[in-house]
Structure 1
């Protein structure tokens, strides 16, 4: 399965979710490749930081921030169980290429009306891609939720009435994610039995259930 994490809005947690999803699948024995399609190269920076730790390399991270992504990713997928694309913000040509390569698109949003409005261009690109690939699946992912706040409930309610629909699993706002990523690690490695590990496991299972 080729999963692309995409949103025109930056800073919504695409890289964090992409790396944790890849790490969980790799820990389950799957062969996983992460494609860093963001010119900022955050996933590649994380991979380099991980090389300075004593942690094993769970998966490969490749930089492919070019418009030919849709032709190159299927070749990578032939030798892997999963490919996870960490997409770029605000670069429509790269976004289109990632959409044409993917089987499933995850659109991370934060609990904020601004994120919902900023998703409009992303949804237009998704609809364009689905006109060529009707079986392309997509889900919103509510990321960085702060407890059971009113804004989180309102954002979830608004997204549940949208197409694509909202992924059931949600990710909370936790300092652990930033701490782990900054050290080239993953949150479930820092605290294997903690709440972040549990919610990430639920997230990965929800995504896997959408496999074509």
Structure 2
């Protein structure tokens, strides 16, 4: 499976979710390659920080921020069980290439009306990609979510009527993600029983159940 995390709006947590999805699958024994398709290279930076800390490699990270991604990702997929693509913000050609490469597009959004409006162009790109890839699956992911707030509940209710639908699993707004990232770690490496770790495990399991 090739999973692309995409949203034209920056700051929605694409890299954090991509790294944790790859890491969670890797710890279950899957062979994972993460493609950093964001010109900012945040996933590559994380991987380098991990190496500086002397931590073992969980999965490979490859920089591939170019619009030939749809031709190159399937080649990488031959040596992996899953490919996770950390997509770029606001680069339409790169996004189109990532969508043409993927079996599943995950669109992280925060519980805010602004995120909903910003997703409209992303959905247009998904519809365009389905002309060439009608089997492309897509889901929203509610991220950085304070679950008991009214706006979080309203966002979830709004997305429930959408195509694509929203994942059941939501990811909370937790400092554990930032704390772990500073040292090239993932949340389950700092506290395996934390709420953040449990959310990531549920997220990865739900994504894994979606048939491409």
What secondary structure does 2:203 align onto?
Answer: helix
Task: Say if 2:112 and 2:152, in contact at 8 Å, map to a contact too.
Answer: yes
Are 1:176 and 2:176 an aligned pair?
yes
2:51 aligned residue:
51
- 1:94 — aligned with what? 94
Aligned pairs for 1:27-176 within 5 A? 27-176=27-176
Q: Which residue of 2 aligns with 1:11?
A: 11
- In the aligned structure 2, how far is the partner of 1:159 from the partner of 1:108? 12
* Large movers: runs of 4+ above 4 Å: none
Q: Partners in 2 of 1:12 and 1:195 — Cα distance?
A: 19
- Aligned-partner SS, 1:192: coil
Instruction: Give TM-score scaled by structure 2 length.
Output: 0.99
Identify which range, 54-63 or 2-11, moves more after superposition.
Answer: 54-63
Give structure 1 stretches of 5+ with no counterpart: none
- After superposition, give the CA deviation of every residue in 1:98-123 in whole Å (9 maximum; x if it has no partner): 00000000000000000000001000
Cα deviation code 1:119-167 (max 9, x no counterpart): 0100000000011111100000000001310000000011111100001
| 3-state SS in 1 of match to 2:35 | strand
User: Normalized against structure 1, the TM-score is what?
Assistant: 0.99
Report how far residue 211 of structure 1 moved: 3.0
Structure 2: tracts of 5 or more residues without a match: none
